[in-house]
Amino acid sequence: MLRTIRNSAARPARALFRAAPLPGLLFCLGLLLLACCLSVAIGSATLDPSALLRALLVSRPSGAADINAHDIVWNIRIPRTLLALCVGAGLGVAGALMQALSKNPLAAPNTMGVSAGASFLVVAVTFFLGITSLAAYTWFSLLGALIAGLLVYNLGSLGRRGMTPLKLILAGATITTLFTSLTQGLLVINESSLDEVRFWLAGSVGGRNINILMQGLPYLLPGLLLALLLGRQMTILSLGDDVARGLGLRVGLVKALAAAAIILLAGSAVAMAGPIGFVGLVIPHAARGLVRNDYRWVLPYSLVLGATLLLGSDVVARLVIRPNEIPVGAVTALIGAPVLIWLIRQKGVVLR
């Protein structure tokens, strides 16, 4: 009875978004703007509204208090906000593409081994080669994501029936476990490496500067653009490969382009913020719940909602044990784990 009441209450909202997806997207952008404002306003240091406004509006502050507020806002909070926005957008869109490509409702960068592969290669080059360059981290993160993606695809395609959602999720779990175990093994061997990357491996946008964002944007932005340009093709592909071919779609090319976008998005996101889980799993389901399977809208909604979720989670991460904070990856896991259980039990997710 309670479930029926909740479904009845949610139905008009879903119908409104499906009938008018553009105003709905603008509403989601408003939520994103609110999350950005909260991210700039809230932190370990308390700034009153007048000091915050002066820090935002005055380019050359005078007085120790105003200079301190200016440094906090422009050197810490705004870069952190932009980083969370970009990483959340990338993970949300990557998850939507992965679920569309694999026809697997549980596909996401963290469940299909992509994030684990990217993390392992970054830790491996730090351990064996002593590389600590941000630019190198980005390259190796992209390479690790590519290697993990290829391994999962090939393992999931073995057997007579070829690739199936069940084999894909099993392959993803296997590769994730493998790379996670190898990563932990390297960190146990070398405790100094553990000190350097421990907080990064938990998934965090804290303690990053604008240089990290600038290193990742050349890969993240092309990935986002490519994904958004594939919206119509992904909608056709969701009808099935045979139907898509019958409609004149070059299925192999579209899948290759979508895979390239996934690698760019997931690899750059991991390089910038570490392996943050569940954003790519939760957000595509929320987007499809609002606009169904029209990927011309699912992908923009995933971009905006992913950024909003990660920004909101980061604000919560700062408040839980203030003035200290927890990694944002812990907050997204607390949100995503119940959603994963709900997908399996309530929505009747079946993997064949």
159 located within any domain: yes
232 located within any domain: yes
Are 271 and 122 in contact, with CB atoms under 8 Å apart? yes
pTM above 0.85, yes or no: yes
18 located within any domain: no
Q: Is 196 exposed, middle or buried (0-12, 13-18, 19+ CB in 10 A)?
A: middle
Q: How many CB atoms sit inside 10 A of residue 68's CB?
A: 15
Per-residue pLDDT at 299: 97
**pLDDT tens per residue, the chain (352 residues)?**
434 434 544 566 666 667 678 888 999 999 999 999 999 999 888 888 888 888 888 877 777 777 888 888 999 999 999 999 999 999 999 999 999 988 888 889 988 899 999 999 988 888 888 777 777 788 899 999 999 999 998 888 887 776 777 788 889 999 999 999 998 888 888 766 556 677 677 778 887 788 889 989 999 999 999 999 999 999 999 888 889 999 899 999 999 999 999 999 999 999 899 889 889 999 999 999 889 889 999 999 999 999 999 999 999 999 888 888 888 988 998 888 887 777 667 655 545 4
Considering all CA atoms of the chain, what is the largest pairwise distance in Å, rounded to the nearest integer?
Answer: 73
350 located within any domain: no
CATH number of the domain at 215, please: 1.10.3470.10
6 located within any domain: no
118 located within any domain: yes
Number of domains in the chain: 1
Are 305 and 287 in contact, with CB atoms under 8 Å apart? yes
Are 94 and 265 in contact, with CB atoms under 8 Å apart? yes
4 located within any domain: no
Per-residue pLDDT at 265: 95
8 located within any domain: no
Determine the structural domain holding residue 334 and report its residue range: 49-57+65-270+277-345
Instruction: Output the CA torsion sign for 73, 199, 97, 144.
Output: positive
Per-residue pLDDT at 125: 87
